[in-house]
Amino acid sequence: MIQYAAILLMMIGLYGLLTNRNVVKIIVSLNILEIGLNIFIISIGFVYDGIAPIITSTNNSSALVFVDPLPQALVLTAIVIGVGTTALGLAIVKSIYAKYKTLEIDEVEEN
Amino acid sequence: MSAVLLIAIPLLAAFLSILSKKLAPVLLLLVTAANIVLLFFVPSGIVVIGGFDLPYGINLFFDTYAKISLLVVNSLFLVVTLLNISEHKKMSSILLVSLAGLNGLLLTGDLFNLFVFLEVAGIAAYLITTTNKKPLSTFNYLVIGSVGSIFYLFGLMILYGMFGTLNLMDMVYAIKNSSVAYSSLLLPFFFMFVGLGVEAKLLPFNAWVKGILKHSNTLSGPMIASVYAATISFVFGRLITNLFQFEGKLLLVVTVLLIAGVVIGEAMAFASTKAREILLFSSISQACITILLFVNGIIIWAVYLVIANALSKLVLYLVVNKAAKQTESDDVEALQGLFVKNILVGIAFTVAALSVMGLPLFVGFVVKLNYLTNLALMDQFIVVALILIASIVEGIYFVRLLVKLWFKGNNEIDVKFDVSYKLVFAVVTLLIVVFGTYTKPLENFDNGIDTVQDQIEVIYNG
């Protein structure tokens, strides 16, 4: 079920990317798309009735059902990359504003 | 010597270069040159990282395919860096990160790791394109590139959900030995193809290319159109050959998309009156042909086509961008008579253009003849016919461009090319002519340069 929510978020992000003409809103849409993907990745590792994949004194049997820890590790990397891209995107937005004094794509002409 | 050093050294140097801005350019050149030397001492095989055996840990895969691609990419990177380092000293750290990312892309045997390197190389590419001083084009590139990476990761995660692995070899083995129908793989493969297609400039995912290459300079132009394009083509080739293995309807859709890219690219180049636009549309068309060859399993000639194009595009973009910078226009009319006073540069440009067109005596001809023969042997006559028609269009616009650049117009233009540029042009011209007339070295390799399937046999079947 959570995967539907993730895909819905991704669709909202894509819709935002395709319809917005403001560079900041485009960055926000990109982030929504990324968050949707991150939730999707997390959902891949979900196991019904699974416990946290940490071996403790009480949870030390291989017969126990653990959730898949790998997607959690992957999503951490994806989040870091997403933050880096967003930071760079915002820096470029700043230079767009400094050069053209607007954040609307339609008002900028780069020939 | 381990292949890890090819990624670790540039990355370490990138951090060190921040400490001393004066030493950064020296460090960049030293590391790039050292990487090329190092390539000859790295033994072939799988490099396991952190002691986690395949498929649990990240691994690098260094075979003949990786060696050729690394040699080409690192050499081109060194040439572009050498020519631009005095003008773009501030980019040293970014170029080192870029080198680490590109080497990682070519070496990694892990599909998630490939996404990470795609983003590392991508972020470096966005920063390199900021030198164009067209922030909106860079912004478009960043957004489209990020969406491409997200699509690739989305496709990969669907595959992970189905097969429980991220390792390329393990994934290929799992797909081959599973009962999952090929139709179930269409969606993840399509997303991954689209994701990589953005960076590979495939139609219709290449909306960023025009803004970036149209305003490119002597650093960003050759770097994106030659170095990055070659890297992504090699990566794409590896995945298409081993993982995707298109068949049925997906093969038909991909072939139609690629052929449309070839034809539309050439038509757009034909309609253009600006030198950089002509080159960028030609690049799109050539990228589509390369991927088409990989899709059809003609690996070796696809690899040679990538190398031939990378060499030719290096010269073409350097000449046009240098001239455009001094004349402040890349309009073909404005550049008329460019070679009247630059005969040597003109010869290099002409040889590179004729090689892209596929005329005899140049390496482009040998490559084109062989891949068309291979396609014809596979009964792909419609594809051959369409490529030939596109070649005629290509011939017309390149000859038209060459005539304009060689013959004097109303305005006299005087563009100065440094000795270093002329040296690079001479070496590339020599390579294009030598391998165009003496083809024996090209016969040393065949489609077996990619050994992923052989390794899978060794690992899983003893």
- Among chain B residues, CA nearest to A76: B116
Measured between beta carbons, the chain A residues lying within 8 angstroms of B160 are 44, 70-71
Token pair listed for B252: 């038909």
| Cβ atoms within 10 Å of B45's Cβ, excluding its own | 13
pLDDT of A53 reads 83
Q: State percent of chain A over pLDDT 90.
A: 69
pLDDT of B113 reads 94
Residue B339 β-bridge partners:
none
Q: Is residue A56 part of a domain?
A: no
Residue A86 is part of which domain span?
Answer: 2-48+65-107
Number of domains in chain B: 1
Helix-helix angle B207-214:B135-163, to 10 degrees: 140
**Smallest Cα distance from B134 to chain A, Å:** 7
pLDDT of B411 reads 74
pLDDT of A109 reads 79
Are A71 and B157 a contacting pair at CB < 8 A? yes
Q: Is residue A60 part of a domain?
A: no
B405-433: buried (b, 16+ CB within 10 Å) or exposed (e) per residue?
A: bbeebeeebebebeeebeebbeebbebbe
| Cβ atoms within 10 Å of B313's Cβ, excluding its own | 26
ipTM of the complex: 0.95
Are B126 and A92 a contacting pair at CB < 8 A? yes
Number of domains in chain A: 1
Mind listing the pLDDT tens digit for each residue in A38-84? 999 999 988 888 888 888 888 888 778 888 889 999 999 999 999 99
Q: How far is Cα B104 from Cα A8, in angstroms, rounded to an integer?
A: 33
Q: Is residue A59 part of a domain?
A: no
Under 8 Å CB-to-CB from B293, ≥6 apart: which residues? B299, B301, B302, B305, B371, B374, B375
Q: Kindly state whether A96 is in contact with chain B, defined as any CB-CB distance less than 8 angstroms.
A: yes
Coil, helix or strand at residue B331: strand
pLDDT of B381 reads 93
Q: State percent of chain A over pLDDT 70.
A: 99
Chains A–B, number of C-beta pairs less than 8 Å apart: 74
Low-confidence spans in chain B with pLDDT less than 70 = none
Coil, helix or strand at residue A22: strand
Token pair listed for B237: 């080739």
Banded model confidence at residue A2, pLDDT cuts 50, 70, 90:
confident
Contact status, residue B312 vs residue B224, Cβ threshold 8 Å? no
pLDDT of A99 reads 93
Indicate the residue of B135, B138, B153 with minimum beta-carbon distance to A78.
Answer: B153
Sign of CA dihedral B165, B169, B172, B178: negative
Token pair listed for B207: 């909306």
Q: How many residues does chain B have?
A: 462
pLDDT of A111 reads 63
> Where residue A31 sits, what CATH number does that domain have?
1.10.287.3510
HSE-up (13 A, CA, CB side) for residue B135: 20
Q: Is residue A99 part of a domain?
A: yes
Q: How many residues does chain A have?
A: 111
pLDDT of B334 reads 87
Mind listing the pLDDT tens digit for each residue in B378-399? 999 999 999 999 999 999 999 9
- Using the 8-state DSSP alphabet, how is residue A67 labeled? P
